[in-house]
Amino acid sequence: MAHSIRLILSGRGGKLMGEATLMSTVRIELEEELAALLYQTDRPIQESVREMIVLELYRRGTISSGKAAELLGMPRLEFIRRASRLGIPHIDMTQDEWEAEKAVLDAWPRS
């Protein structure tokens, strides 16, 4: 049996007598086991799911750390630390990219 969880996702809309906020409702069907795990987080489900969505968008490179922090209402450095603790790196480079960056730094004159 699946549980139904209603999430309210908000975003800034156009201007309508000042600043307007558009609200969207998304219905997600979850298996009972997954819903039970969400309830165990001791946080409101909407808050937990919102954070998970933002973290995944950041991990995929869809949004920046600054945008992610803004969406979660926290300072950027706090977001970067939280993501890092969850195994999501702030700097994600291949070995070749790292070597190229290192070569640039090594070529800088030292005073």
More confident position, 3 or 72 = 72
Residues 6+ apart with CB under 8 A from 5: 27, 28, 30, 35, 38, 45, 49
Residue 21 pLDDT greater than 70, yes or no: no
Reported as a single tens digit per residue, the pLDDT across 25-78 is: 777 788 888 888 888 888 888 888 889 999 999 999 999 999 999 999 999 999
In whole angstroms, give the CA distance from residue 16 to residue 71: 22
User: What tokens does 60 get?
Assistant: 């995929």
Find out whether 88 and 98 touch, Cβ atoms under 8 Å. Answer: no
Find out whether 75 and 69 touch, Cβ atoms under 8 Å. Answer: yes
The model's pTM is 0.66
Burial string for 81-98 (b: 16+ CB within 10 Å, else e) reads ebbeeeebeeeeeeeeee
pLDDT at 17: 42
Domain boundaries, the chain: 1-40, 43-105
pLDDT, mean over the chain: 81
Find out whether 8 and 46 touch, Cβ atoms under 8 Å. Answer: yes
More confident position, 20 or 90 = 90
**DSSP per-residue codes, 49-85:** HHHHHHHHHHHTTSS-HHHHHHHHTS-HHHHHHHHHH
pLDDT at 16: 41
